């Protein structure tokens, strides 16, 4: 029995995902949206913005809102 639990797939995906990109669906320069939502149940889907989230595409899914996250290697 290892001491390290295997990370769930969605968590690995989350770590590799770049957030705060401009949303491709809502990239009006005046009202540009940044993608800081992430769906745990759609691990293949890119991050999306709050407008996308309100389209009920992920209704009933577990959606995470990401605040600024910084992942730095331990020295
Ligand atoms: Zn959007
Ligand atoms: Zn989803």
pLDDT at 2: 58
Domain range list for the chain: 1-75
Q: What is residue 33's DSSP assignment?
A: -
Query: End-to-end distance of the chain based on CA atoms, in angstroms?
Result: 28
- Interval between CA 63 and ligand 1 midpoint (Å): 14
pTM here is 0.71
Q: Using alpha carbons, select from 43, 72, 74 the residue that is nearest to residue 64.
A: 43
Per-residue pLDDT of the chain (75 residues; tens, 9 = 90+): 556 778 888 888 888 888 888 998 898 888 888 899 999 998 777 899 999 999 888 999 999 998 866 667 888
Identify residues whose C-beta is under 5 A from ligand 1, the ion. Answer: 23, 25-26, 33, 49, 51-52
- Interval between CA 35 and ligand 1 midpoint (Å): 7
What's the rounded Cα separation, in Å, for the pair 66 and 55?
Answer: 18
- Interval between CA 29 and ligand 1 midpoint (Å): 13
* Exposed / middle / buried, residue 26 (Cβ in 10 Å: 0-12, 13-18, 19+): middle
Nearest-5° Cα angle at 56, 55 to 61 = 135
**Nearest ligand to the C-alpha of residue 23?**
1
pLDDT at 3: 66
């Amino acid at each position: 029995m290892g001491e390290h639990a295997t990370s769930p797939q969605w968590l690995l995906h989350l770590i590799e995902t770049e957030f705060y990109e401009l949303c491709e669906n809502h990239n009006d320069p005046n009202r540009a949206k940044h993608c800081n939502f992430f769906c745990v149940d759609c691990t293949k889907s890119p991050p999306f913005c709050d407008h996308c989230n309100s389209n009920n595409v992920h209704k009933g899914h577990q959606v995470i809102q990401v605040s600024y996250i910084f992942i730095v290697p331990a020295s």
